[in-house]
Structure 1
Amino acid sequence: MYGLELCLMVVATIGSALSANSYAISLWGALMFWRVILGIGIGGDYPLSAVITSEFATKKRRGAMMAAVFSMQGFGILTAAVISVVTLALYKDLIYQDQRYVDHVWRIVVGFGVVPGVVALYFRLTIPETPRYTMDVLKDIEKGSRDIDGVLSNRKNEKDKGKPNSSIEIPRATFKDFIKYFSKWPNSKVLIGTSVSWFVLDVAFYGIGLNNAIILEAIGFASSTDIYISLWNMSVGNIIITMLGTVPGYWFTVFLVDKWGRIKIQLMGFTILTILFLILGIAYNQILNLSMPLFITIFTLCQLFQNFGPNATTFIIPGEVFPTRYRSTGHGISAASGKLGAIVAQIGFINLKDIGGRNMFMNRLILIFAVFMFIGIWTTLLIPETMNLSLEELSNEDQIGFIKKAKVKEDKTTISVHNFSEVTTSSVE
C-alpha cells in the first residue's frame, strides 16, 4: 500500500491509539507527541515559506514580501487570543458551575488551530516549484526558463523553435560540498551570524511570548483568585499587547525593510530591546509601584521592537544570503538555532522565576534577556546587507562560471535565468 492509503492507515492507527478511554497515555505524553509532529511540520514550513517567497520576488520588493508572509504570525497570535476570549465568554456560566469546564476551553482554543492549518495545506500542496530551484538544483534550465516566462507573462508557455540548451554546472548539494562551501570564512560567518542572532532573539521572544500569562499574573494584572476573571484578564491582556505591539511591529517592517535595509532594522531592534529590558529589569519594582499601565506600555514596546526588529529580519535574511542549493538548509539551520533558544528560554524561565519566592526572580530574568539582546547586536555585524541585491550576488559565488554553452546554431533563443535577467544562449542540433 502506498500513497494516500498508507497515510490514512498511519493517521487512523495513531488516532485510535490516542483516543482510547483509558490511562494508557498521559495528557502530557499526548501533547508532547503532537507537538513533535507539529514541530516537524513547522520546521519544514519556516524555510519553505521564506525561500519560496524570496526566490519568486524581485529584489526591490523581496524584503516586503517576505515580511508580509511572516507578519501572518502576528494575525495568528491575535486570532488565538480572540478565540480564547470568545470561548471563555461562551463558557462563563458553565465555569462558575464547575471549574472543570476550563478543560473544554483550552481544548477548543488549541483545536481551532487546525482550521488555518487545513487552508495552508491546500496552498502548500499546489504551490509551484521555484524556477531557481529547477535551474540550480534540478539543473533543468529549459523548464526553469519556461517557468520564469510563465510567471512574468502570466500566460501559457509555448516552445520556441530553437530550444535553450545551456547546461548548468552548479555543484550538487552534498555533504562534501556543504563543508567546502561553509568552510570558507566569508560564508561560514554569515551562517554563524544568522543562527546566533536567531538564537539570542528567541531566548527573549519565547521567554516572554510563551509566558505572557505568567508575567501578567506576576505584575498583578491577572492575579485574581477567581479563575474565570484571571483567565479573562490574561486573554484580554494578550489582545492588548498583540494589537498595540506585535501586529504593528510586523507591518512597520513590511513598509520599511526595503527602504532602511535589514541590518539597520535588526541592529535598531536589538539595541532598543537591550535598553527596554534594562529599564524593566533594573526598575522592575519601582515601575510597578508607580504605575502598572506604565509597565504594560514598556512591555508592549518590547513586543513592538521585537517584531519591528530582529524577529522579522532573522526570518528574512537567511532566505536571501545563501546559494540556491543551500538556501533552505541555511534557513533551516538558522531557524532550528532559534528554536533551541526557545527551549533554553522556557527551561530557564520555569526553573528560575520562583527563586527567592513566587515570581521573585522575574526582574533578573528580564536582565538576562537584555544580555542576550546585547549579544545580538554583535552577531548582526557578521551578516551582510541584502537590500537591493539579487540572490545571485548574495550567494558569494561566481554564477557566470556555472553556465556552459553548447555548439552554436544559426537561430538564438533568449531565456531568463537566475536573477530574472535575460541572457542569450545558442541552441544546438
Structure 2
Amino acid sequence: MAGDQLQVLNALDVAKTQLYHFTAIVIAGMGFFTDAYDLFCISLVTKLLGRIYYFDPTSTTPGTLPPNIAAAVNGVAFCGTLSGQLFFGWLGDKMGRKRVYGMTLMLMVICSIASGLSFGHTAKGVMTTLCFFRFWLGFGIGGDYPLSATIMSEYANKKTRGAFIAAVFAMQGFGILTGGIVALIVSAAFRNHFYAPPYYIDRAGSTVPEADFIWRIILMLGAAPAAVTYYWRMKMPETARYTALVAKNAKQAAADMSKVLQVEIMEEQEKIEHITMRETNNFGLFSREFARRHGLHLLGTTTTWFLLDIAFYSQNLFQKDIFSAINWIPKAQTMNAIEEVFRIARAQTLIALCGTVPGYWFTVGLIDIIGRFFIQMMGFFFMIVFMLGLAIPYHHWTTAGNHIGFVIMYGLTFFFANFGPNSTTFIVPAEIFPARLRSTCHGISAAAGKAGAIVGAFGFLYAAQDKHDASKRDKGYPPGIGVRNALFVLAACNFLGLVFTLLVPESKGKSLEEMSGENEEEPQMEPAAPYTRTVPI
C-alpha cells in the first residue's frame, strides 16, 4: 500500500531540486565523461597506430592495422566493459553502491595512464600490452554504468528523476566531444612543429618518429577527469534506498538523508523490517517470481540496448572509415600521419558538436514531460529513417559536392540516437527493478548493450569493407558487403529495437517503489504487458 512508504524515501521522492542533486550529477557524470573519452578516443588514433607500427613501403597506403589487430584494439575495451558491468553490477547490490564506486574510478585512472605507456620491442608487443590495459580500462568503465545510474536514480525525486539520470549520461556526449578537441589540439601542435606549412604538404604519406607521442598523450589524458572526482565520490553517503531496503539500517538511512536534505527524518526500523520481510520482496533474480513480475521487462531492457549499441558503436568507432568512403577525408597517401589524425579528429568533433551533444540535452529537457517510451520509440524510428536516407541513395551522397548533405544526415542519426534509445536504455533499467536487484539488472542490461557494441566493433570492421577492393583483400580483409549495405543492416537493427521497446514499461512520474512493487502488499505490476501509456500529441 502507498501508506507503507518509508518517510526517508518519501522525502527523497518529493524533495525540491537542490544543490545536492547537481553535485551528484557532476560527480556521477564525470565518470561518464571519462568513460566516453576513453572508449571513443581509440577511433581517433587507430590509423596512426597502423602508420607507426605496420608501415608497408610497398603498399598503396601508408599504413593500415591488420584486420585482427584493428578488431582487437577497437573491441577489447568493450569485452572488459561487458565483464565489468556484470561483476560490479552484482557487487553494487551485495556491498553497496558507494563502496564499489571508488574501485571502478581508480581502475579507470590507472589503466588510462597504463594504456598510454604500452610497451614492447615489437609492434605485436605494443599492441598486446595496449589491448591488455584497455581490457582492464573497460572493466572499470563497465562498473560505472550500473553504479552511476543506480545512485542517481536513488538520490533523485520522482518528478525530475529522468532528467537527472539523463544529465549524468549526457556527460558522455561531452566526453566524445572532448576526445575530438584534445586530438585536434595535440595533432595541431605536433603538425605545426614537425610539418610546418608548407613543408608538410610535400611529405604525403610520411610519419615522423615523434608521432608515437600523439596517441599516447591522447589516451593518457583520459585519466585526468576521473582522478579529479575520486575524492568527491568517496565523500558521497550511501543511498538511502540501499541502506534502508537492502542493508536494513533505518538509523543510518535517516541520518544520511537528514544531512543531505537538511530536514529532520525519523528512523523507522520496524517498518523497514516489515517491508523487507514480505515474501513479495524476497524473491531472487533467478526465481519464478522475478520472471513473472520482471522477466519481460528485463528482456525488453536487454534486447533494446543490445540492438541500439550495434548501430551506435558501429557509427562512432568507424566514422573515419565512413568519411573516407565518401571522400570527405582524403586518401591516406595524400597526407602525412599527423595531418590524418587532425582531419579525423575535426570530423568527429563536428559530428559530436552538431548531432551528438544536442541529442543528449534534448532528452534531459523533455524526458519527464513526454516520457521514456515515446522518446525511445521516436529515436529508433528516426534512426531508421535517416539510415535508409543514407543507404538508398548512397551513390548520390558519395559523388563530389554532396558530402555536406551526407554529413548532415549522418549527424541526425546521432542526434536521434541520443534524443532517443541511447539515453533511455540507460535510464529505464535504473528505475523499474527492486532495490536489492537494481544494480545487478542494470548491469545485465548494460552488458547486453556492450555485447551489441562488440558485434558492432568486430562486425562492422569486416562488413563495411568494399567487396571489390583488392588492396584490402591483399592485407587479409575478407570481402565485405560495403558501407551501403552495412547501413541497411544497422537500419534493420533499429527496427527490431523499436519492436522490443513495446516490452519496456513507462516510469515517468512514479516512485521507484511503485515501479518495482516493493511498496505493495501484493504485486501490482503486470507480468506480461507494459504499462498503459499516454502519449502527448
Give your verdict on TM over 0.5. yes
Aligned partners of 1:64 and 1:253 also within 8 Å: yes
Please name the residue that 2:484 is paired with: 363
2:506 is the alignment partner of 1:374: no
Alignment match of 2:353 (pick from 219, 224, 243): 243
What residue in structure 2 maps to residue 301 of structure 1?
412
2:381 to 264, 271, 278: 271
Q: What do the CA deviations read for 1:153-191 (whole angstroms, capped 9, x no partner)? A: 26xx79x7x975444252699997211266433411000
Match of 1:199 among 294, 306, 309: 306
* Distance of 1:21 and 1:376 partners within structure 2: 43
TM alignment of 1:134-145, pairs within 5 A: 134-145=243-254
Identity percentage of aligned residues: 39
Distance 1:264 1:213 in 2: 32
1:22-421 alignment, distance < 5 Å: 22=121, 26-92=125-191, 93-94=193-194, 96=200, 98-153=207-262, 164-168=269-273, 169-170=275-276, 177-180=284-287, 183-224=290-331, 225-227=334-336, 228-289=338-399, 291-358=402-469, 361-400=482-521
How many angstroms apart in 1 are the aligned matches of 2:271 and 2:120? 63
Deviates more, 1:283-292 or 1:376-385: 283-292
Distance 1:285 1:175 in 2: 58
* Mapped contact 1:173–1:325 kept (Cα < 8 A): no
Q: Secondary structure at the match of 2:212?
A: helix
What is the one-letter code of the residue matched to 2:405? Answer: L
- Aligned partners of 2:518, 2:173: CA distance in 1, in Å? 36
Q: Answer yes or no: is the 8 Å Cα contact 1:54–1:66 preserved in 2.
A: yes
Distance 1:122 1:51 in 2: 20
With over 3 angstroms needed to count, the CA separation of the structure-2 counterparts of 1:214 and 1:98, relative to structure 1, is closer
Report the CA distance shift for 1:71/1:20 in structure 2 as closer, same or farther (over 3 A).
Answer: closer
Query: How far apart are 1:292 and its partner, in Å?
Result: 0.7
Query: Is 2:397–2:405's contact at 8 Å kept on the other side of the alignment?
Result: yes
Shift of 1:214: 1.3
- The structure number with the bigger radius of gyration is 1
The alpha-carbon distance between structure 1 residues 366 and 178, as it changes in their structure 2 partners (threshold 3 A), is same
Q: Per the alignment, do residues 21 and 392 of structure 1 end up closer, same or farther by CA in structure 2, a change over 3 Å counting?
A: closer
In structure 2, the CA distance between the partners of 1:310 and 1:136, relative to structure 1 (3 Å rule), is same
- C-alpha distance in structure 1 between counterparts of 2:325 and 2:281, whole Å: 50
Q: In structure 2, how many angstroms separate the alpha carbons of the residues matched to 1:305 and 1:273?
A: 6
Once residues 287 and 117 of structure 1 are traced to their aligned partners in structure 2, the CA distance between those partners, rounded to angstroms, is: 40
Name the count of aligned residue pairs: 387
Measured after TM superposition, the shift of residue 131 of structure 1 is 0.3
Cα gap change, 1:319/1:339 in structure 2, threshold over 3 Å: closer, same or farther?
A: same
Distance 1:175 1:20, change over 3 A: farther
Which deviates the most, 141-150 or 26-35? 141-150
Q: In structure 2, what is the Cα distance between the partners aligned to 1:374 and 1:131?
A: 39
Letter in 2 for 1:107: R
Unpaired runs of at least 5, structure 1: 1-6, 403-429
Residue 84 of structure 1 aligns with an amino acid whose one-letter code is A
Alignment partners' CA distance in 1, 2:123 and 2:397: 49
What 5-or-longer segments of structure 2 have no aligned partner?
A: 1-105, 201-205, 470-479, 524-537
- State the Cα distance separating 1:39 from its structure 2 match: 1.6
Q: Is the 8 Å Cα contact of residues 199 and 340 (structure 1) preserved in structure 2?
A: yes
Aligned-residue Cα RMSD (Å) equals: 2.9
1:260-291 per-position Cα deviation (integer Å, ceiling 9, x unaligned)? 10010000000110111111111111222261
Contact conserved, 1:173 with 1:326, CA < 8 A, in 2? no
Q: What is the match of residue 531 of structure 2? A: none
Aligned partners of 1:233, 1:299: CA distance in 2, in Å? 17
Q: Is the contact made by 2:245 and 2:272 (CA closer than 8 Å) also made in structure 1? A: no
C-alpha spacing 1:355/1:401, structure 2 compared with 1 (3 Å): same
Q: Judging changes above 3 Å, is the alpha-carbon distance between structure 1 residues 349 and 24 closer, same or farther for their aligned structure 2 residues?
A: closer
SS of the residue aligned with 1:223?
Answer: coil
Distance of aligned partners of 1:21 and 1:356 in 2 relative to their CA distance in 1, 3 Å threshold: closer
CA deviation digits over 1:231-263, x for unaligned, max 9? 222111111101100000000000000001001
Report the equivalent of 1:427.
Answer: none
Q: Distance in 1 between matches of 2:327 and 2:123?
A: 39
Shift in Å, 1:151: 2.2
Whether contact under 8 Å (2:281, 2:518) holds in the other structure is no
- Shifted more, 352-361 versus 251-260: the winner is 352-361
1:108 maps to a residue whose letter is I
Residue 102 (structure 1) shift: 2.4
**What residue number does 1:409 align with?**
none
The answer to whether the 8 A contact 2:283-2:289 is kept is no
Distance in 2 (alpha carbons) for counterparts of 1:388 and 1:174: 22
Q: Distance in 2 between matches of 1:383 and 1:243?
A: 30
Counterpart secondary structure, 2:507: coil
| Partner SS state of residue 328, structure 2 | coil
Change (3 A) 1:152 1:366: same
Q: Secondary structure at the match of 1:177?
A: coil
